[in-house]
Chain A
Amino acid sequence: MKTDDLVILLANDVEPVERHAVGRRYVIAIGLGAAAAAALLVGLLGVRPDLAEAARLPMFWVKLAFVASLAGASLAVTLRLGRPGVRLHWAPTALALPVLAMWGLGGVELAEASSVERAALVFGTSWKSCPGLIATLSIPVFIAALWAMRGLAPTHLPLAGAASGLLAGAVGALVYCLHCSELGAPFLGIWYLIGMLIPAGVGGLLGTRLLRW
């Protein structure tokens, strides 16, 4: 086929593009992925029974805000990486801020704690299982986020895979908050972060293979 003929083929009777196609794709992906993660949480771990009491503690909301802001920032980075020729601008900074804030808070908590309490702030009671559980809960969103990214046009494939993985990790961590009772800032700044970085790393490694277009 000659290129001129291809141009005519593409332009002939061209279908109008629906508006907000990208946004809708991500709403569906994150919605379904989060619902599947919640089902996984209920089936595997159960919702913590004292959730209503925990919701009265300010730190519970700080923890939610930490995870939710990471989810929002990683979604912003993901959407930018999915559009050719769009710069990242402030998006990586938005990703770094919640982490730095949590580390700052963790530093204050550790400085004020006695040496006996410090280990409890860092390790809590669940440091061994926390990252793996967050990574497990991120699997549905991970699959959905990569599906959504395949509908966009990423030009930096490992980065786009990593951002999609981080988005999955943050949504997985958000769901995990329904089960987990840890509230120490050092714990959250270390183990939650590692849990979210596992799918990000996997996404970075798989990006080139899975996201080519």
Chain B
Amino acid sequence: MTHEGRADHVEIELRESFLRGRDGDSAAYQGLLEVLTAHLRAYFKRRLTAMPDEVEDLVQETLLAIHNKRHTYQASQPFTAWVYAIGKYKLIDLFRRRAVREQRTDSIDLLAEGAAELFSTADSDAAEARRDLHKLLAQLPDRQRLPIVHTKLEGLSVAEAARATGMSESAVKVGVHRGLKALAALIRGET
């Protein structure tokens, strides 16, 4: 297969998994996030040679951002460019926080090239994250933390989680949604 043919193939496959995941298909979504994790890790490792300790934290932060912002993807646009734009934004945001002047090697006009670079390599060698999301999770209020713990970590259904917490089912769903956003805000706040 040619290089471009492979890139198209990646685009079609990932986009399909993402759209299925966005409609509630957990298995497709998990598979997609695993692939994105490996690509993001390789990409961040290359860009953060001076700050290797930051890589895994940034991968996690970017995954959370992709999840929390998944409603901003439009089916008419290239999915790989959407992911690349988020990854690059998170990278620049880290540089901004660390007050490192970013070398502007690419602009919005180079989305296709950037996306091709991001998806050209993968790295499944996970380092230990320095930031412990469990600890941040513990800081959330009960109405957000308990729905996440029950439905996401313990694998209860929404109905079961509602019974376990005495919350309504819609409050459980809202709690998960707001809790994951609050988690992203906590990550931003601590760095």
Contacts and interface: CB of A to CB of B under 8 A. Distances in A.
B26 A11 contact: yes
Contacts of B41: 3
B23 A86 contact: no
A3 B56 contact: yes
A12 B26 CA distance: 6
Interface stretch (A40-48, A148-156, A171-179): A148-156
A2 B67 CA distance: 17
> A1, A3, A12, A212: which has the most chain B beta carbons within 10 Å?
A3
A9 B148 CA distance: 8
Contacts of A22: 71-72
B10 interface: no
Nearest to A15: B173
Given A3-B59, A10-B63, A14-B24, A82 B33 contact: no
23 contacts: A1-B60, A1-B132, A3-B60, A6-B64, A6-B133, A7-B63, A8-B152, A9-B148, A14-B21, A14-B26, A18-B71, A21-B71, A22-B72, A83-B74, A85-B84, A85-B86, A86-B74, A152-B69, A153-B89, A155-B85, A155-B89, A155-B108, A212-B188
Given A3-B56, A13-B151, A84-B86, 14 more contacts: A3-B37, A3-B41, A4-B37, A7-B30, A11-B33, A15-B24, A17-B23, A82-B72, A84-B82, A85-B84, A86-B74, A152-B69, A153-B72, A155-B108
Interface of B: 21-27, 29-30, 33-34, 37, 41, 56, 59-60, 63-65, 67, 69-74, 77-78, 81-86, 88-89, 93, 108-109, 111, 115, 126, 128-129, 132-134, 137, 148, 151-153, 155, 157-158, 173, 176-177, 180, 184, 188
